[in-house]
A and B are shown apart, each in its own frame.
Chain A
Amino acid sequence: MNKTLSALGCIAGASLLFSQSALAADCETLTLGSAISLTGKYATNGVHAKNGYEFAIKKIDENGGVKVGDKCYNFEVIYYDDESKGDRGATLAERLISQDKVQYMLGPYSSGLTKAIAPVTEKYKIPMVEAEGASRSLFNKGYKYLFAVLSTSEQYLASAVTLAAEMAEKEGKKASDVKVAIAVENDPFSLDIRAGVQEDAAKYGMNVVIDEQLPRDLSDMSAILTKVKLLKPDLLVVSGHSKGAATAVRQIGEQKIDTPMIAITHCEAADVVGNFGDAANDILCSTQWAETLTYEDPIFGTASNYEKEFKAAYTEYTDKKVPYQTAQASAAVYVFKDAFERAGTLDKDKLRDAIAETDLKTFYGDIKFADAGNNIAKPMVLRQIQGGEYNVVAPSAFASHPLNWPRKP
């Protein structure tokens, strides 16, 4: 907080660059800005993201900072709390750019907030690397200054469809015999997931037997699960943030749903293993990143090393998994470092071009941006809860454990 305040004071002096001798080495400070949710409904994940940014800044700092030409810099971020509200986020982005003279932005948390802020950064031609907005509607607007390190949301559960097809073929059935049930929340993110599943199901000629939208304040989905019982789909896909995950896992257990494959999002956020124990077994969970993956880079080391060091730096994560929201936030800062060094200048337009040409291997996965700004080099990962552990089962190139199929109710 103090750091942020002192940074604010310096910037009020109308200068973007200033030296702060308190920082390690004799590097100058390079200021990024971010409106992020520190209060309101996204507060938990907003804080995860902020911790990810801060941890990456510290690590880059320790590794000699950002070398631009023959000078070196340390990142510093001005944070404002957007209260999880889109209009507030847009106002704060304006303030960061026009009052605080921020030239480079890190993203907010959630697709909704990113959608609110992107038009502002676009207007001022400020490059923004974001790590928490996965909706594909962000990447069909022709934005030139928006880049995302994470996989877009329609990929979240699409790989479960492929997996279901593989299993059907292994059983000697046709992929087109697979019946799919979809229950997703009525919000942009989950509707993208639905679109992704529908597209892939259509590719295999599968039959979507249930396609329902969950209300925002869902706490009971027994009506859908009763239908699942009657129609017996081979794959059930649920996405409704952490409340969807919690409600689904609890009621799937209660109603003894025997669907052979169930894939959901936000398992970790809802802590379905801790809360529901055995009911969560054999459920597939999508994730952007897992600490067991074999990715690696010179700053953070391997994925598991990242997890270890992050836990040491932020002791409140000791008893839980480091969420992928944190890892991808760190990766976004790393993209900035890499792009600054390749650009060799602080000019924001040259930096934008350098970001666009990013081709980077990181502990979080490969990063390479499509023209629309989304990362096309990193796949989504499916983990299965096996005996209370999250084990990677798909895609097969990264699988550490075989898939349990059919799941035991």
Chain B
Amino acid sequence: MDQILGNISLLFEFPIVNLKIVVDGLMIGALFALAAYGLALVWGVMNVKNLAQGDFVIAGGYVAWYLAKLGVPPLLGVPAAFILMWGLGWVIYKTVISRVIERDLFTSLLATFGLAIMMAQIMNLLFGSDTQSIQLQYDTLYFFDGFVDVPIAKLLGVTMAAALAAGVIYFMKTSRMGQAIRATAQDARAARVLGIDTEKVYSFTFSLNAAICGAAGAIIVMVWVIQPFYGITYSIRSFVIVTAAGLGNLPGVIAAGLGIGAAEQYGAHIFGIGYQQAIAVLLLLLVLVYRLIQQRRLRQSLK
């Protein structure tokens, strides 16, 4: 308890620390938001809750890491991971997801859970269980007497994440495929009646999700570390963010992603870093309770 009070008083004693915490939180949150956006797509369009979301992220990280080891410039790892993970997503859709998509919720949960275990284990066999990262030879920018540090590598990562998100949003709003995806999300049967090939939409959406996750992973390996069994961290965050923001609410997903990043950093500072993930789950609980109360008041039913 003393330690918690001490930590809170540090925030007031050194106000600049708040800025540091928020900056750190936003940078992590941007990557959470990216993975969560992919999940929201798959969830909204196909009604598949992909428990292997985090493992796609880690797989993308290993793609970039492996290429960097072969001598490819690390920044090229991001588009490379996007493309390769697109292919992997397509294969997984054709072999696994297309078979469970029409079934009930439980089947798709089990299938993606199995997928998550398999992917983690395969990566472990391929790359070993050591943690890996790519060190970029960029400087770190310091502000306010060195209290706020912004490594250029992180800044680049966040910029790439933002560019990717903007690209995907633009694509969804303007392209034919984007329209078809949105139509399918609204009502798959009606979309089929109107001549949209929903099977194609599904495989496209799932591949796109894998690709977004892959790019996120390629950024993560440049600024943090990856390990074959780290996927679950990103899966949990993605679920928290999507549940909090709601499906189809893109600005909401991004805001929730950034918010969770910052909230976790505050939680880690005040309660200790061991409770960082607990903060995310606690927020999920609060959101769910709030949603239930709201829904009861409006006499809506949960779909």
Contact = CB atoms under 8 A, between A and B. Distances in A.
Interface of A: 39-44, 183, 186, 211-215, 217-224, 226-227, 229-230, 242-243, 246-247, 250, 253-256, 269-271, 275-277
26 contacts: A39-B121, A39-B125, A42-B129, A43-B124, A183-B273, A214-B273, A217-B230, A219-B230, A220-B24, A222-B24, A223-B21, A223-B265, A226-B147, A230-B14, A242-B131, A243-B227, A246-B131, A250-B135, A250-B225, A253-B140, A254-B149, A254-B151, A256-B146, A269-B130, A271-B130, A275-B133
A219 B7 contact: no
A227 B142 CA distance: 17
B273 A247 contact: no
Contacts of A221: 273
A154 B73 CA distance: 42
Interface in B105-147: 121, 124-125, 128-131, 133, 135, 140, 142, 146-147
A254 B124 contact: no
B51 to A, nearest CB: 16
A221 B151 CA distance: 15
Interface residues of B, number: 43
Nearest to B274: A213
A92 B140 CA distance: 50
A218 B268 CA distance: 12
Given A212-B273, A212-B274, 20 more contacts: A39-B124, A40-B121, A43-B128, A43-B129, A215-B273, A219-B226, A219-B230, A220-B276, A221-B273, A223-B24, A226-B21, A226-B269, A227-B7, A227-B10, A230-B17, A242-B130, A246-B225, A247-B224, A255-B149, A256-B140
Nearest to A276: B135
What is the predominant secondary structure among interface residues of chain B facing chain A? Answer: helix
Nearest to A253: B140
Interface string B9-24: 0100110010011001
A41 B273 contact: no
Contacts of A256: 140, 142, 146, 149
B179 interface: no
Contacts of A40: 121, 124, 129
Contacts, number: 105
A270 B130 contact: yes
B159 interface: no
A212 B135 CA distance: 26
Interface of B: 3, 7, 10, 13-14, 17, 20-21, 24, 28, 121, 124-125, 128-131, 133, 135, 140, 142, 146-147, 149, 151, 220, 224-230, 232-233, 265, 268-269, 272-274, 276-277
Nearest to A271: B130
B274 A223 contact: no
Contacts of B142: 256
A31 to B, nearest CB: 28
Contacts of A223: 21, 24, 265, 268-269, 273, 276
A380 to B, nearest CB: 22
A220 B135 contact: no
A265 to B, nearest CB: 13
Q: Which 8 A-B pairs have the closest CB atoms?
A: A223-B268, A213-B274, A243-B131, A219-B224, A217-B233, A223-B269, A246-B131, A212-B272
